[in-house]
Structure 1
Amino acid sequence: MHRFLLFLISASSWASFGTSKIIHSISDLQCSEYDFIIIGGGTAGSVLANRLSENPHNKVLVLEAGINNAGIQDVQVPFLGVTLPETSVDWNFTTTPQVGLNNRSIELARGFVLGGSSSINFMAWNRGSQDYWNSFVTATKNQMWSFTALEKYYRRTSTLVPPADGRDTTGDVDPTAYGNGPVQVSIPGFMTEIDNRVTESGKILGGRFSFIEDLNKGKTLGFAYAASSIGNGTRSSAATAYLEPILKRKNIDVLISTRVARVTGHAASKGITHIDTVEILQNPGDIPHQIKASKEVLLSAGVMGTPHILTLSGIGPKKVLKNLGINVVVAAEDVGANFADHPLVANYFSVNSNHTWDPVLRDPSLFAADLSEWVNSKQGLFVDTAGNTYGFMKLPHGFADPSTGPRSANTEIIFVNGFAPFGATIPPTTGSYLSMLTAVVSPTSRGTVTTVSRDPFAPPKIDLNIFTTDFDISAMVQVMKDARTLISASPWDGYIIGPFGELANATTDDQLATFARNNAVTVNHPVGTARISPDNARYGVVDSHLKVKGTSGLRVIDASVLPQIPECHPQALVYTIAERAADLIKADHGLL
């Protein structure tokens, strides 16, 4: 994908500029002690920074490994989200060779920038089903994680705003499913010729393909217009919504381009280690600089970064710590385990149309014109992500159902009005295409993230273990067949020419499975590497209040705590968890 889209990156601005409260060097820090130190200025970390600095008596420090988000046009333009993986705003993680992918390695995109992955993702906004949130209650034995109990925290995260084109959206989205928070959310603002075909097909086919007005009302099943974190045709990220508006506060510092070597502390009562120190550095070989936290250290470094930092700090599996020569602070076998992501396969079809956006990706002058329209008026193709419509489905009767309940999905289809370059298929230089991105959203395969070096700059070993269960590959084959069923509905008459490339030869289940193994990537929805569990359970990494077991003064607040992968796009869930966590922290320190 990156090679094909290089000209898009060079065509738009890639300049970054500073903001007054953004600190670039450790030597410029004015304090050696803060009340709260937040490791990670991403989705969750930005929420925590905002909410904890509301009280002017709290001194807050945010530590971000990546760069500043300000002024990076490709981050701001929704359509250009596809250009961001494998660039300077991406951690550029790569998996080990995957047996389930015929020993292919694949890239996993994670935000290396303020706002984290909310600054580089494809912006889909899914609240999660009632069943998913209620599974948190089962996982934690604590009712505060139920769908109902989290209602007010979800509504603190976002506000529904009009789409860029300002059209009447009655029947396409339900305003009651949103709140009054800082993240701006809208449905598509530049309609394409396939959008109505998708929704009408759902209405005609019904059943598993049914159209639903809004997926954010507690049931994540049906085909709908995509709600996305976009306002005024521009990406609304954790950085722009939560972090940038508070940089004027005198009690918050944001230090970028900084790695955490480890967190440490001292022995407390009953075998508990109290964490109150963060060791940081900015270049390999630097002597770590220590900063103290008088109240708490909050680890929001992400699904790869959080287990990596925990392990470097002596909190992790005994065998891994022994191999690295790190003293065991807390033996936690689940650190880095339970790793899951949504497998994705791009299905391409040639279409009878002159209105796809394929020419824009081939002709720099057309691209420049669309970018100019976005810059000057925030209108046109670039105000949306690549996919305006999508659908979540249960598998047919006869399949196992590992989802969290009857209101949660097993599979997903995303519809793209052009050739979306995901996976190994080389983009064609001529023709018009429909891309149907099929995904398994309740996968049963689980992998690991393992620290392999004491060097904080060395990446962990990432083994996704993708397609290693019969369910996962069977579910992918079924959703690929479902995609063909949907485009056989009457709204597509005369539009579809036929499957493109290797897909044209995949007519049996076995051939579809082979196609999937040869072409699958992921939707970049990793979760689970520091999972939550009941307070007294020996398994898990954090308790129901997100405190790292065996410690005090240390919590994990990011997607790594999720006990099961959500059957949807997870960013809104992470925002909600961070809002809930902020109140837990305030309550513990008498700040509510």
Structure 2
Amino acid sequence: MVLYLICFTWFTYTGMRCSLKMFSLWKFVALSAQLCAGAIFERVTDLPTMDFDFIIVGGGTAGNVVANRLSENPKHSILVLEAGASHKGIEDIQIPFYCSRLTPYTEWDWNYTTTPQVALNGRTFPFQRGYVLGGSSSVNTMAYTRGSSEDYDRYAKVTLDQGWSWKNIQIYIRKFERWTQPADGHNTTGQFDPSAHGYDGATAVSLPGYPLDTDHRVLEATSQLGGEFSYNQDLNSGSPLGVGWCPSTINKGERDSSATSYLTPEVLKRRNLQVVVNTQVTRILQSGTANCRRAFRTVEFTASHGDAQGKKTLTAKKEVILAAGSVGSPFILLHSGIGDSRDLSRVGIKPIVYLPSVGRNLSDHMVAPNLWTVNTTDTLETWVRDPVFAANALETWRTTRTGPFVDIPITQVGFVRVKDDGVVFKKYGDPSAGPNSPHVELVINNGIAGKTIPPAGNFFIIGAIIVTPSARKTPLIFNEHFIHNNISGGSLVLHSNDPFEHPIINPAYAGSDLDMYILREGIRSAQRLAEAPAIRNYVGPALFSPTTDAELDEFIRSNGTNLHHPVGTAGMSAKDANYGVVDPDLRVKGVAGLRIIDSSVFPFIPSGHTMAATYILGERGADLVKMAW
């Protein structure tokens, strides 16, 4: 308003009456008012400036963290380029229970597909990645588990940088996490450890806010069975083994993504931060040299997906920060001529920087679902099938942000280690980060709540997830066993030199004997949990009852599916290591002016849902950039 009055007074005083000048002045005032109010721009051409210190490629889970933290310094100017649309006003994104509607193969998904997976009977799978502001934090299941303390200590060991250790990332956990009351406001005493959480951070984390009939049964089972299924008061304490409540990034009944928590209206009011959606970066271009290295500070982008004729460029004065995710970041590097020279030449791209680890080391979680029938309709299937129930629940959510739709379909999970049979681990080694880290996550669901559900029947599900996949070819290894046994690895390579053609994604699910062993034992753990009297009295016959190794292997090959937690395609390694893509400060090796801050840099997949670890990464990555400048 002050700016408007100054401009209006100046206009009146000078007596100008030229309509063209009047139009230009009012356009300037309107644009200034827009910037003061905070904005997400649809086109780069709408920006008030093309001069930026930092250009962040990708407004996803980590990218928005970095944008927020760097823009805290008014001396730095920041641009975020997001390929997808804005998240604002999309109710399906807001409603936690509707998370399964968002992917795969929707307008909010990149709609990638894997190659046929050899170990899973040649089946292909959707490879879901968020194509919207907030990235995958806007479309995922919101489950919040950090992994074990040993996961982070292993990152520190591999990178030779203690800044990544569990002890030293605690400051970043507190910085991004805001522990919040569940939607129903119930007493959560005994359901979490208050000392393990942050209360003043940006992103809300809360426990389930609507009770399910299976809650008490699962908790009763922990006391009945004990041992591997003992109750764990807080799965995020760094010691996740056992069964406990599953928190999620939900704030007062609504999804809290990096877009809603880090790009708040107050943050978007900062004059030094601009966010542009519907803008896809195709390459990072060399923009000179620095310290005898090629500098990559120029981004090539197009205003709309597939518009190859409309490419433009912008150059950052300080750094380009890739935050396009485990598919997007290596994809852009490869199209920029940074990667394995042979792979680049094969698709007609001129190799510029030899960095053969780009796109290698792809790791992802996969799950073997175990289903039991139940003799009740009080399951999630009814919430989807019954139009009256669904309409009432939706109205309750819209008016009060309470009721069944305030939660994700998961309320409890368990983390277990499999037994050492004296053969497999002797041959391959233990793939976990340490003796207090799990091999398997057990995800417990009172029914099926996906986009498509069976036309009849009600079910109880315990999914067995391998959280320590061993498929990898690079020297980012567990121990010497992986060198000698040549375990095939996951990878991402280009299909062609067309930046709008999806890459070839091969996660190598169940790609080793070790993976198959862990999955078999994970299913047996799920079966043992279902034998607890509290659960056995609830469930009927299992839909599948594999018992022998051969039956279990065939069950996995026919029914196993993926979890969409990819990491590793731009892995961290020590500064002087001859493998990896980024150093411990997240700088791309061998070049200047370019960093990667997203889940692609994790050299090992954490033994939990990757979102929490990616927020931590975003906070520490932002600090590393700040320290450099």
Q: Structure 2 length normalisation: TM-score?
A: 0.88
Which segment drifts farther, 354-363 or 38-47?
354-363
- Cα separation, 1, equivalents of 2:492 and 2:366: 17
Farther off after superposition, 256-265 or 112-121: 256-265
Distance in 2 between the 1:575 and 1:492 partners? 35
Give the 3-state SS of the residue equivalent to 1:133 in structure 2: helix
SS where residue 310 of structure 2 aligns? coil
User: CA 1:269/1:239 → structure 2, altered by over 3 Å: closer, same or farther?
Assistant: closer
Residue 430 (structure 2) pairs with residue 416 (structure 1): no
- The verdict on how the C-alpha distance between 1:216 and 1:436 changes in structure 2, with shifts beyond 3 A counting, is same
Partner of 1:450: 493
Structure whose CA Rg is larger: 2
- Residue type matched to 1:78 in 2? P
Residue identity opposite 1:435 in structure 2: I
Q: 2:580 aligns with which of 531, 535, 540?
A: 540
Q: Does 1:569 align with 2:609?
A: yes
Name the CA distance, whole Å, in 2 between partners of 1:241 and 1:276.
28
The letter of the residue matching 2:301 is I
- How far residue 365 of structure 1 moved from its aligned partner, in angstroms, is 2.6
Unaligned runs of 5+ in 2: 1-34, 472-488
Picking from 457, 462, 467, the partner of 1:431 is 457
C-alpha displacement at 1:270, in angstroms? 6.0
Name the residue aligned to 2:350: 327
Mapped contact 1:185–1:230 kept (Cα < 8 A):
yes
- For residue 20 of structure 1, report the CA deviation from its aligned partner: 5.0
Deviation at 1:271, TM superposition (A): 4.6
- Secondary structure of the residue that 1:156 maps to in structure 2? helix
1:10-21 superposed matches below 5 A = 21=39
3-state secondary structure, aligned to 2:441: strand
Q: Report the alpha carbon displacement of residue 509 of structure 1 after superposing the two structures with TM.
A: 2.4
Q: Which residue in 2 is equivalent to 1:290?
A: 313
Matched, 1:30 2:48: yes
CA contact (8 A) 1:420 1:435 kept: no
Alpha-carbon distance in 2 for matches of 1:169, 1:26: 46
Matched residue, 2:57: 39
Q: Distance in 2 between matches of 1:427 and 1:49?
A: 39
CA, structure 1 residues 431+266, in 2 after alignment: closer, same or farther (shift >3 Å)? closer
1:295 Cα deviation after fit: 0.8
Offset from partner CA, 1:126-170 (integer Å, 9 cap, x none): 222111111011111111111111111111011111111111111
Which string of whole-angstrom CA distances, capped at 9 and with x for unpartnered residues, describes residues 239-278 of structure 1? 0000134111111111111111211124425651111211
Matched, 1:441 2:449: no
The answer to whether 1:198 aligns with 2:241 is no
- Deviation larger for 479-488 or 309-318: 479-488
1:197-254 C-alpha deviation (Å, 9 max, x unpaired): 1122122211111110001111121100101111101111100000134111111111
- Tell me the alpha carbon deviations over residues 374-417 of structure 1, each in whole angstroms, 9 at most, x when there is no partner: 11111111111001011010102326321001221100111111
Question: Is the 1:348–1:419 Cα contact (8 Å) retained in structure 2?
Answer: no
Partner of 1:10: none
Following superposition, the deviation at residue 421 of structure 1 comes to 4.6
- Residue of structure 1 aligned with 2:238, choices 218, 241, 256: 218
CA–CA separation in structure 2 for the residues paired with 1:294 and 1:286: 26
Shift of 1:454: 2.1
**d(CA) in 1 for partners of 2:302 and 2:287?**
21
2:276 is the alignment partner of 1:236: no
What's the counterpart of residue 11 of structure 1?
A: none
Partner of residue 378, structure 1: 401
1:291-306 → structure 2 map (5 Å cutoff)? 291-306=314-329
RMSD of aligned residue pairs (Cα, Å): 1.6
C-alpha distance in structure 1 between counterparts of 2:290 and 2:67, whole Å: 30
Give, in angstroms, the shift of residue 439 of structure 1. Answer: 0.6
Kindly report which structure 2 residues correspond to 1:124-139, keeping only aligned pairs within 5 A, or say none: 124-139=143-158
3-state SS of the aligned residue for 2:92? helix
Determine helix, strand or coil for the equivalent of 1:409: coil
Q: Counterpart of 1:66? A: 84
1:511 aligns with 2:534: no
- Amino acid aligned to 1:157: F
CA shift digits 1:419-468 (9 cap, x unpaired): 2459xxx8432222112121100111231011222222111110111111
Work out whether residues 303 and 310 of structure 2, in 8 Å CA contact, stay in contact via their aligned partners in 1.
Answer: no
Query: Which residue of structure 2 lines up, in the alignment, with residue 585 of structure 1?
Result: 625
- Match status 1:167 vs 2:210: no
* Selected match of 2:568 from 528, 540, 556: 528
| 2:328 aligned with 1:308 | no
Amino acid paired to 1:244:
T
**Does the residue aligned with 1:38 lie in a helix, a strand or coil?**
strand
Q: Distance in 1 between matches of 2:585 and 2:573?
A: 10
- Give the match's secondary structure for 1:135: helix
The residue number in structure 1 matching 2:13 is none
Q: Distance in 1 between matches of 2:449 and 2:562?
A: 14
Q: Is the 8 A contact 1:273 1:329 kept in 2?
A: no
Please list the CA deviations of residues 336-359 of structure 1 after superposition, one character each: whole Å capped at 9, or x if unmatched.
000010111221110122321222
- Whether the aligned pair in 2 keeps the contact of 1:46 and 1:239 (CA below 8 Å) is yes
Other structure's SS at 2:415 match: strand
Other structure's SS at 1:268 match: strand
State whether residues 271 and 550 of structure 1, in contact with CA within 8 Å, keep that contact through their aligned partners in structure 2.
Answer: no
Aligned twin of 2:159: 140
Stretch deviating more after TM superposition (262-271 or 185-194): 262-271
* 2:277 matches 1:253: no
Q: Choose the corresponding residue for 1:75, options 90, 93, 97.
A: 93
Which residue identity does 1:533 align to in structure 2? Answer: S
- Larger mean CA deviation between 245-254 and 352-361 belongs to 352-361
Which amino acid is the alignment partner of residue 615 of structure 2? Y
CA contact (8 A) 1:127 1:154 kept: no
1:102 aligns with 2:121: yes
Kept in 2: contact 1:263–1:275 (CA 8 A): yes
Letter in 2 for 1:304: V
Q: For the residues of structure 1 that align with 2:332 and 2:65, how far apart are their CA atoms?
A: 20
Partner of 1:286, secondary structure, is helix
The equivalent position to 2:416 in structure 1, one of 352, 368, 393, is: 393
For 1:414 and 1:359, locate their aligned partners in 2 and report how far apart those are by CA, in whole Å.
20
Residue equivalent to 2:31: none
Which letter does structure 2 place at the counterpart of 1:247? Answer: L
- Equivalent pair of 1:352/1:494 in contact (CA under 8 Å): no
Greater shift after overlay, 122-131 or 164-173? Answer: 122-131
Q: SS at 1:224's partner residue?
A: strand
Q: How far apart are residue 373 of structure 1 and its match?
A: 0.9
Partner secondary structure for residue 437 of structure 1:
strand
Deviates more, 1:459-468 or 1:427-436: 427-436
Distance in 1, Cα, partners of 2:88 & 2:450: 27
Q: Which whole-Å CA distance do the structure 1 matches of 2:385 and 2:183 have between them?
A: 25
* Distance 1:507-1:129 versus aligned 2 partners, 3 A rule: closer
Contact 1:259 1:457 in 2 (8 A): no
Which residue number in structure 1 is paired with residue 374 of structure 2? 351
Corresponding residue for 2:504?
Answer: 461
Find the aligned partners of 1:458 and 1:226 in 2 and give their Cα distance.
37
State the AA in 2 paired with 1:189: G
Q: Distance in 2 between matches of 1:174 and 1:199?
A: 17
Q: Offset at 1:25?
A: 1.6
Judging by fraction of residues, say which structure has more helix: 2
Distance 1:357 1:270, change over 3 A: closer
Q: 1:323 is matched by which residue type in structure 2? A: R
Deviations 1:13-55 (A, max 9, x none): xxxxx99511112321232220100000000100001000011
Q: Is the 8 A contact 2:232 2:240 kept in 1?
A: no
For residues 119 and 566 of structure 1, the distance between their equivalents in structure 2, rounded to whole angstroms, comes to 20
The percentage of aligned residue pairs carrying the same residue is 41
Aligned match of 2:434: 405
Corresponding residue for residue 540 of structure 2? 497
- Equivalent pair of 2:568/2:601 in contact (CA under 8 Å): yes
Distance in 2 separating the partners of 1:97 and 1:65:
27
Provide the secondary structure at the position in 1 that maps to 2:168: coil
1:185 aligns with 205
